[in-house]
């Protein structure tokens, strides 16, 4: 396993706190960072080539916005700390996609911020953090 840490970002304060905790860890251990942003996306059936093209354009636009609005500034935090960093934006089910990214990038740990969802919402829909903890193949650090 490599010395890489995956940081799940979502533009929230919790994500930024997770990033800062991961930067501190990486500074002490010499780890590289993989900053990720997952755009929740579920598959739909489209019937016409025009609908497929519109979906593709929408996905590309979302990836570009995520890179510009979330990952670019967070990437600078890592670079200013003198650490190696790569960024990845993907579409998919968030917890499942993070597990796949951790495997693809051979990371040794995942950092994620705890997000303040209501108790009712978490009970009905589940929580990304809880799902990630249950399915990840590497340790998950949840930063409050």
Q: For every one of its 144 residues, what pLDDT tens digit does the chain have, with 9 covering 90 and above?
A: 689 999 999 888 889 999 999 999 999 999 999 999 998 876 665 666 777 677 767 777 787 887 787 788 899 999 999 999 999 999 888 999 999 999 999 999 999 998 744 454 454 445 888 899 999 999 999 998
How many angstroms separate the CA atoms of 82 and 65, rounded?
25
What's the pLDDT at 46?
60
Radius of gyration of the chain (CA): 16
pLDDT at 111: 97
| Residue 144: Cβ within 10 Å count | 9
Asked whether the beta carbons of 91 and 37 are under 8 A apart, the reply is no
Report the alpha-carbon distance of residue 38 to residue 17 in Å, rounded: 17
3-state secondary structure 58-108: HHHHHHHHHHHHHHHHHHHHHHHCCCCEEEEEEEECHHHHHHHHHHHCCCC
**Domain total for the chain?**
1
CATH number of the domain residue 123 falls in: 3.40.50.620
32-40 β-sheet, strand order: 85-92, 32-40, 4-8, 109-113, 140-143
Q: Which helix (H) or strand (E) holds 11?
A: none
Residue 15, domain extent:
4-143
Q: Quick one: pLDDT at residue 82?
A: 95
Q: How far apart are CA 34 and CA 52, in angstroms?
A: 30
Please tell me the distance from the alpha carbon of residue 69 to that of residue 60, in angstroms, as a whole number: 14
Whether residue 21 contacts residue 141, with contact meaning beta carbons closer than 8 Å, is answered with: yes
């Amino acid at each position: 396993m490599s010395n890489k840490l995956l940081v799940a970002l979502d533009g929230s304060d919790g994500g930024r706190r997770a990033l800062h905790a991961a930067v501190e860890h990486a500074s002490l251990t010499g780890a590289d960072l993989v900053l990720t942003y997952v755009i929740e996306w579920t598959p739909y059936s489209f019937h016409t080539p025009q609908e497929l093209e519109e979906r593709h354009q929408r996905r590309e636009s979302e990836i570009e916005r995520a890179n510009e609005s979330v990952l670019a500034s967070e990437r600078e935090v890592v670079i200013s700390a003198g650490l190696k960093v790569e960024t990845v934006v993907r579409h998919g089910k968030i917890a499942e996609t993070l597990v796949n990214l951790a495997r693809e990038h051979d990371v040794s740990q995942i950092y994620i911020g705890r997000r303040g969802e209501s108790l009712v919402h978490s009970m009905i829909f589940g929580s990304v953090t809880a799902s990630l903890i249950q399915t990840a193949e590497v340790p998950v650090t949840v930063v409050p």
